[in-house]
Structure 1
Amino acid sequence: MRILVIGASGTIGSEIVKTFGPDHEIIQAGRNGKDVQVDISSVESIKNMYDQVGKVDAVVNAAGGAKFAKLTELTPEINEVGIQSKQKGQVNLVLLGMDYVNDNGSFTLTTGIMMDDPIKEGAGIAMANGAVKYFVKAAAIEMPRGIRINSVSPTIMKESWEALGSYFQGFDPAPASKAALLYKKSVLGALTGKNLEMY
């Protein structure tokens, strides 16, 4: 299977690459992608990536930025980061990528625990996550040629705990390798329209 992994050098993305292993052809993309560079907040960058990569059996996205901010300090400009990257960037990966995914292929996007288990300073991120979750649910009934679409919703990662743990008081961090298994389930399984939660 030919699988495009976006955000492949990140905490979760690198584990996704390992999880699929040598049985599949993995194309690693990202801002500093091993095989192809892409900025998912840019429509032109996404188009260029697909043109370079060509046909694939699956697109897996583990990229997307958003900023923590107190609600009283959450300006439209700060919020726009998550909208352009985490929200619109992921939606655009699907809209611009459908013609590049083979029949009966799949898209797997990324949401996150904050939309279901809110934390302080996470309203903007929760909004972007929720938008992606419900895009996936609605898009699944219209995907052409048997293409499936799901999202994965990780909790806070052990590898990110030192940097971000103060935001997630009382949460139980999990290893990125565990999150990667849900992406594998999405790609190699039969589910569609689902948000696969690891909490």
Structure 2
Amino acid sequence: MKLIIIGANGTVGSAISNELGARHELIRVGKASGDIQLDISDSAQIRALFARTGKVDGVVVAAGSVHFAPLNEIEEQHFHIGLNSKLMGQVNVAQIAQAYLHDGGSITLTSGIVGEVPIRSGVSAAMVNGALEGFVRGAAIELPRGLRINVVSPGLLEASVAALGSFFPGFEAVSAKRVGLAYAKSVEGAQTGQVYTVR
């Protein structure tokens, strides 16, 4: 299959690329690296990406920013970081991708453990992750041509423990291999409207 991986060089994106790259042709997309550069908060850039790649069999998104801060320090503009980037960026990829996917193609988005198990300073991430999962469940029953959509919710990756572990006290880290397999299940499997959690 020909797959677009958005956020391919990040921690999660690398796990995806390592798993799927052995079996499929990957177009690696990043904000400042990869085969093509893209800011997912800009719909015009998303349209330009698909115009350049043409028809594909699947698109995976592991990109988007959110603001981490205590609730009493977050203001409206801080919420908009996650809303405009991680939430609407991924929603817009899913909307635009439909015209460029072969029949039966797949869309895989990324939420995260904070949507289910909140952490201090993670209220914006919890909000965005929950919204992404709701979008996927709703979109799955309306997609045409046998298109499928799922979302992967990874836990704290082993590779991120040094940088982020202090925000996740008591959490058991997950391997990149297990995270990559969840994306493979979404891309290569048959289900739609699923939230694949990796804990």
Using the TM superposition, give the Cα deviation of residue 177 of structure 1 relative to its aligned residue in structure 2, in angstroms: 2.3
Using the TM superposition, give the Cα deviation of residue 123 of structure 1 relative to its aligned residue in structure 2, in angstroms. Answer: 0.7
Deviation for aligned residue 1:22: 3.4
How many corresponding residue pairs? 199
**Unpaired segments of 5 or more residues in structure 1?**
none
What does residue 96 of structure 2 align with? Answer: 96
CA distance in 2, matches of 1:43, 1:177: 31
Partners in 2 of 1:22 and 1:168 — Cα distance?
32
Separation of aligned partners in 1, 2:42 and 2:131: 18
Deviation, 1:32, is: 2.2
Counterpart residue number, 2:17: 17
Quote the Cα distance in structure 1 between the aligned partners of 2:21 and 2:29.
16
Residue 131 (structure 2) pairs with residue 131 (structure 1)? yes
The TM-score with structure 2 as length reference comes to 0.97
- In structure 1, C-alpha distance between the alignment counterparts of 2:43 and 2:73, rounded to whole Å: 29
Confirm whether residue 192 of structure 1 aligns to residue 192 of structure 2.
yes
1:41 equivalenced with 2:47 (yes/no): no
1:77 offset after TM fit, Å?
A: 1.1
Question: What's the CA shift for 1:64?
Answer: 1.1
C-alpha deviation, 1:193, in angstroms: 0.2
Q: Report what 2:6 is aligned to.
A: 6
Q: Which residue of 2 aligns with 1:153?
A: 153
CA RMSD between the two structures: 0.9
TM-score (norm 1): 0.97
Aligned to 2:82: 82
Q: Alpha-carbon deviations, 1:94-149, whole Å to 9, x = none? A: 11111001100000000111111111111110000011000000000000100000
Could you list the runs of 5+ residues in structure 2 that have no partner in the other structure?
A: none
| Structure 1 residue runs of 4 or more that deviate by more than 3 Å after TM superposition | none
In the TM superposition, what are the counterparts of 1:45-56 in structure 2 within 5 Å?
45-56=45-56
Inter-partner Cα distance in structure 2 for 1:76 and 1:55: 38
Partner SS, residue 22 of structure 2: helix
Distance 1:196 1:71 in 2: 28
The equivalent residue for 1:143 is: 143
Alpha-carbon distance, 1:79 to partner: 1.1
